Amino acid sequence: MPNMDPKKCPMPSQDPNVRNKNFKEVALGYTAEMAVTEAQRCLQCKNHPCRSGCPVDIDIPGFIAQVAKGEFEAAYQIIAQSSALPAVCGRVCPQENQCEGKCIRGIKNEPVGIGRLERFVADWHRENVHSAPAKPTPNGHKVAVIGAGPSGLTAAGDLAKMGYKVTIYEALHVAGGVLMYGIPEFRLPKDIVQNEVEGLKELGVDIECNMVIGKVLTIDELLGEYGFEAVYIASGAGLPRFMGIPGESLKGVYSANEYLTRVNLMKAYLPGSHTPIQKSHAVAVVGGGNVAMDAARCAKRLGAETVYIVYRRGMAELPARKEEVEHAEEEGIIFKTLTNPVEVLGDEQGCVKGMTCVEMELGEPDASGRRRPIVKEGSEFELDVDTMIMALGTSPNPLIRSTTPGLDADKHGCIITNGPDGLTSRPFVYAGGDAVTGAATVILAMGAGKEAAKAIDAAIKAKNA
């Protein structure tokens, strides 16, 4: 008999007023008993709609059935067939819009906590199983992957399992991409990311850091003298967007990328770190996505007394995951929605001392389907802040498209692909993730990596047939 509890087994987590002063993980994870109890809420329904909501097509009812029986390693093996990064996805996927959003239990009550179960299984495996995965038999073909973020790691993992010799070229000094520089420690501990990266190395994937493709080597060199038969470009998001309002160059205005990179990748949150970061009292984060939530919660943890999220639409329109918004609210982040900055104000030293904002109201839906924010006349007011963090999205990195002849990009600079398989305008050159879509989610980037791996395998097989 399934467990008919209408609610998910709650996730143990750090108290908001404790965690907003430290960088330790917020959600602590299920115990084995909690996992089994939650897994028993799954009805094992016939149509398993959850699976259709998963961009990497994990056999969700299959792994949950194993968890319900207490067979955690068997559950892990089922997930591992589809996902290269289960410990990551269990933490950062927007499950409410994906698997859990489709769960039958969710129609009347809360859906099964699929994300929490995935995380539990991945963590259990990491803590209890120490045998290296079996190395696949080499098939004699070489593929290069550009970028060691979620998309590149996924494609590399899948190709390695098929027997390809994969080399990942990473621009930064460490593999992981946004999982290392962007998502903070308290949401995704970095040793978990590195553990997943180690898992790929055990499969035989080579990772070369400090390699900026387009500069030190070109795509043509990789396909030519380096002997790779295909290349997958997963170079990720690029340059941060700014608003184009006066005062954005004042000291104390950061892009979220810079702020988060200083905090996460360069470890400014650790005492005695060599990485400088502004010591803020009042911070405004402009934007309403997950990146904005991450930046706001980091600023709070670094000691800012007041942290605002400034967003031009309403609470209902925030693009961030609901859970992230709730966590931010619990931690004392103040949401100034229907508010838009029009100028950053500086003092004589050129430092931020405040910002002028206007109030907004929502009009008719725009092309994106969201209601368009309109400025309320005469609503200008000033907000006292000493730091501003712009979390407005990014435009793709220009380094590869500008050095690869024949690689088509759209007017925003996103690489154009043929469709879901990721084939670009160049034969044997594939692309996926943020480099194609612009800033999106970890799991969509992983899904693109998976599709590209399949397409690359098919193309190389066809060529050699």
Partner 1 sequence: MFKIVQKRELNPTVTEMVIEAPLIAKKAKAGQFIIVRAKEDSERIPLTIAGYDREAGTVSIIFQIVGAGTMELNTLPEGGCVHDFVGPLGKATEIEGLKNVCVVGGGVGCAIALPIAQALHAQGSRVTGIIGFRDKNLLILEDEFRACCDELIVMTDDGSYGRKGVVTLPLEEKIKEGANFDEVITIGPLIMMKFVVKTTKPYNVKTVVSMNPIMVDGTGMCGGCRLTVGGQTKFACVDGPDFDGFEVDFDEAMHRGTMYKEFEGHARDEACNLFKQEVQ
Q: Nearer to partner 1 by C-beta: 60 or 283?
A: 283
CA distance 164 to 206: 11
Q: Is the Cβ–Cβ distance between 344 and 246 less than 8 Å?
A: yes
**Window 47-106: residues binding partner 1 (CB under 8 A):** none
Q: Does 172 bind partner 1 (CB under 8 A)?
A: yes
Q: Nearer to partner 1 by C-beta: 46 or 173?
A: 173
- Write down the least CB distance from residue 98 to partner 1, Å: 27
Q: Nearer to partner 1 by C-beta: 129 or 216?
A: 216
Q: Nearer to partner 1 by C-beta: 120 or 259?
A: 259
**Window 243-282: residues binding partner 1 (CB under 8 A):** 244, 248-252, 254-255, 257-258, 261-262, 265-267, 274-276, 278
**Window 383-422: residues binding partner 1 (CB under 8 A):** 397-399
Place of tokens 């539990």: 120
Residue span 316-355 as binding mask against partner 1, x where in contact by CB under 8 A, dash where not: ---------------------------------xx-----
Q: Nearer to partner 1 by C-beta: 22 or 275?
A: 275
Closest CA to 243 of 115, 154, 343: 343
Q: Nearer to partner 1 by C-beta: 4 or 216?
A: 216
Q: Which of 43, 74, 104, 212 binds partner 1 (CB under 8 A)?
A: 212
Q: Which of 217, 223, 292, 320 binds partner 1 (CB under 8 A)?
A: 217
Q: Does 238 bind partner 1 (CB under 8 A)?
A: yes
- Write down the least CB distance from residue 74 to partner 1, Å: 38
Q: Which of 7, 46, 108, 173 binds partner 1 (CB under 8 A)?
A: 173
Q: Does 5 bind partner 1 (CB under 8 A)?
A: no
Q: Nearer to partner 1 by C-beta: 75 or 197?
A: 197
- Write down the least CB distance from residue 252 to partner 1, Å: 8
Residue span 130-169 as binding mask against partner 1, x where in contact by CB under 8 A, dash where not: ----------------------------------------
Q: Which stretch binds partner 1 (CB under 8 A): 29-37, 54-62, 80-88, 209-217?
A: 209-217
- Write down the least CB distance from residue 319 to partner 1, Å: 20
Bridge partners of 354, per DSSP, are 345
Q: Nearer to partner 1 by C-beta: 111 or 354?
A: 354
Closest CA to 109 of 254, 183, 6, 233: 6
Q: Which of 17, 31, 210, 418 binds partner 1 (CB under 8 A)?
A: 210
Q: Which of 171, 234, 296, 414 binds partner 1 (CB under 8 A)?
A: 171
Q: Does 237 bind partner 1 (CB under 8 A)?
A: yes
Residues near partner 1 (CB under 8 A) are 171-173, 181, 209-212, 215-217, 236-240, 242, 244, 248-252, 254-255, 257-258, 261-262, 265-267, 274-276, 278, 349-350, 397-399
